[in-house]
Structure 1
Amino acid sequence: MEKLVDTEDEAMLRDAARGFLDNFSPVSAFRKNRDEGRAFDPALWSEMGQMGWAGVLVGEGDGGSDMGHRAAGILCEEMGRTLTASPFISSAVIAATTLRAAGSDHLSSIATGETLYALAVDEGSKFAPSRTAMEARADGNAFRLTGAKAFVAEGSTANRLLVLARTSGSAGDEQGLTLFDIDASRAGIKQDSVETIDYRDFINLSFDNVEATGDDVVGDVDNGLAALAPGLRAGQAALAAELGGLSAGIAAITLGYLKERKQFGRHIGSFQVLQHRAAHLFAEIEVTTSAIAAAGRALDEGSENAALLSSLAKARATQTAKLAVMEGVQMHGGIGMTDEYDAGFFMKRARVGAEWLGDYGHHAAIVAAHRGL
């Protein structure tokens, strides 16, 4: 794959984002959030909103900065480098993209960062929207939602939910699903916290006869996957970018450690076998960075290959992050998994990021099918 380099504007955005995050959201800030038991720093998110990040995919007419998917990917890469926790992907990317296509009234409050969305799709241990079984039973001109959702990212802090439920058919059917946009505090919704190894905000949700009106429907009844598809593609590309940035972040930390750690009177970075491993990791990160850039640009251009390139980027980024964190921890030695060092945090986030919005097998199968394999 040809190396896709940043344009001048993209390089400026990256430099600005990196400077901001290095100053206000280094890995030590993630550690502080964890120790204080909060999902993310609301003051930091407010600053992101003021800089236009929350509205990166919202049109200017709705108060957004409308910078596009490639810009969103760059921001995610830089947030991945420092393990910045925020509702950016769930709200500013997935929800904004989905609701913009549907012409929602909530875009302006997404752009300011005031309204936070969570995506309630998964019901099992794997990402499989078509297997949705949650019932949305017709009740006059409204619906009654009953069922459960698992692994809902940013769920405890969100004030609105995008919920995929079944209005007809049975689990496994791609048709018969409807997407709802509802208030997270609506009667009948219960939250159960989930402890994840990356210390991020994930919850399980149960719905007991929750009312949803026709105004809550996003897109068309029984065609919810089509309504959600733009948001899912955008979210997968953005998450790939975060994992790409995470890979670069742990690689930089590891390289610094190789330059300072001594064994047998020599810096371990002078050992050829470690040099070869570091060079291999660098090459993998470069190829993955190109795949991430290609996905973002395809989304901006409305390319028919956007879904494929988003899956390619997510698959590659998942594998590259796995390699990067394994090499990082191993080159640090046993201390790499201790809480005193940051390397273990990158490994834990990479593991959770690998599963969310489809794991390697899910996306590799899409790429393979496109190639006729």
Structure 2
Amino acid sequence: MKLIIPENYDPRLSVRETQEAIKYIRDTFQKELGKEMNLERISAPLFVDKNSGLNDNLNGVERPVQFDLAGIPGQTMEVVHSLAKWKRMALYEYGFQPGEGLYTNMNAIRRDEDFDNLHSCYVDQWDWEKVITREDRNLDTLKDTVRTIFKIIKHMEHEVWYKYPNAVKHLPEDITFITSQELEDRYPHHTPKERENLITKEFGCVFLMKIGDQLKGGKPHDGRAPDYDDWQLNGDILFWFEHLNCALEISSMGIRVDETSLAEQLKKAGCEDRSQLPYHKMLLNGELPCTIGGGIGQSRLCMLLLDRAHVGEVQASIWPDEMREICRKNKIFLL
């Protein structure tokens, strides 16, 4: 168990006031997200067929929660890790056109997550995906989309300040772009996580780009599944978070793989067997639209805007009894 207790911590809002603020942030943000990015809200699954290839494999080592269904014997279902691939299939099946997109509430169980201030076995995020043209698969499209999301988050800061002026966290005025290789060149003797903290503390908010491929140092900055993001056109939105003295990841996103980048990344990752799965076959055959998409953590955003020290203050999950007791004694009230 890893736990950080900030000195003289004061949540400023009661538990019931916090619940009210959570609802306000979630309701308001998804409306702004849909309006600013031309996204429609759709329904999404909690689980998918294991053999469909639609589940997100994350770093490739996390175990999905699996179960069978009495009505469909012989098949295994998996609780989703995210909807990275499912959304692209939905855009195809529902007939979305370039410039149109979707968002949905994604709930997941990640059984292998550690317990600490930022991580929970329960994940809740807005998963979003948008159709783009093949010509728009470039860094300009990626950066423009990141700036739009940053603008929405900044707008939410002002909205929350209006209702809860004593509780809101003040965010930086701009977002800085840097690649994982530039970050390694800048801090060659630090770990990837230390690099993230150093650069985010310096600039306040950073979009760290090109995650997944091997760097000059011989290793990737971080693991990324080879079959959804294009490793040359993706990244994470990070905010500096004083309470925990670290970078807080709010969103992981990117332009998705096309036929060429999928084949290249499957080979690099040693996952060429996935090319036989239904989803991957469609993609390699050029049947699926080009898209950009990502996930925005709902609890993480509430944690950021309300300046909370533990994700358990803004989501109901399972925590070790010892963690609950230590938090309670330090005014960190876990839901």
Same fold, TM exceeding 0.5?
A: no
| TM-score class normalised by the smaller sequence | under 0.3
**If the length of structure 2 is used for normalisation, what is the TM-score?**
0.28
Structure with the higher fraction of residues in strand conformation = 2
Considering only CA atoms, is the larger Rg found in Structure 1 or Structure 2?
Answer: 1
**If the length of structure 1 is used for normalisation, what is the TM-score?**
0.26
Higher relative contact order (CA 8 A, sep 6+): 2
Structure with the higher fraction of residues in helix conformation = 1
